Amino acid sequence: MAMVKCPECGKEVSDKSFKCVNCGFVLNKPKRGITGIIFKSLFILFNAFMILWFIGLFMSGSGDPELATADTTVKAVGSGMLIFIWILIGLPLGIMNYITRPKAYE
């Protein structure tokens, strides 16, 4: 383990340290592993897809006033299912995204 000088305070710190022990200057930014990158990407893509689906659900509709009641019922049921799917898949993805975040060790 080599020692390097902190660019902020000039004290000797380990080259493996993420922060200077003396002043707290960030020396090495922790990086997310490949599993973390995959979960983060899946989390972002899934949420983007669900937002687009939600917008599409409410933007679609027939212009016929006679179908307005049926259209409202379909939208209500569809939005309920959409939220259920969002929670069912999005929550575990969010938890895995949180678990695989980069961590700084001193």
**Residue extents of the structural domains in the chain:** 1-30, 31-106
Whether residue 105 is predicted with pLDDT greater than 80 in this model: the reply is no
Whether residue 97 is predicted with pLDDT greater than 60 in this model: the reply is yes
Q: What phi and psi values does residue 26 have, to the nearest 5 degrees?
A: -75, 115
Give me 50's structure tokens. 């669900």
User: What's the whole-number mean pLDDT along residues 24-40?
Assistant: 88
Q: Which residue has the higher pLDDT, 89 or 104?
A: 89
Query: What pLDDT sits at residue 85?
Result: 93
What CA–CA distance (Å, rounded) separates 14 from 20? 9
CB 11 within 8 A of CB 21: yes
Summarize pLDDT for 34-75 with one digit per residue, the tens: 999 999 999 999 999 999 988 887 777 655 556 556 677 777
Closest by alpha carbon to 49, among 99, 95, 90, 103?
A: 90
Q: How confident is the model at residue 103 (pLDDT cuts 50, 70, 90)?
A: confident
What CA–CA distance (Å, rounded) separates 95 from 99? 6
What CA–CA distance (Å, rounded) separates 46 from 29? 27
Query: What pLDDT sits at residue 106?
Result: 45
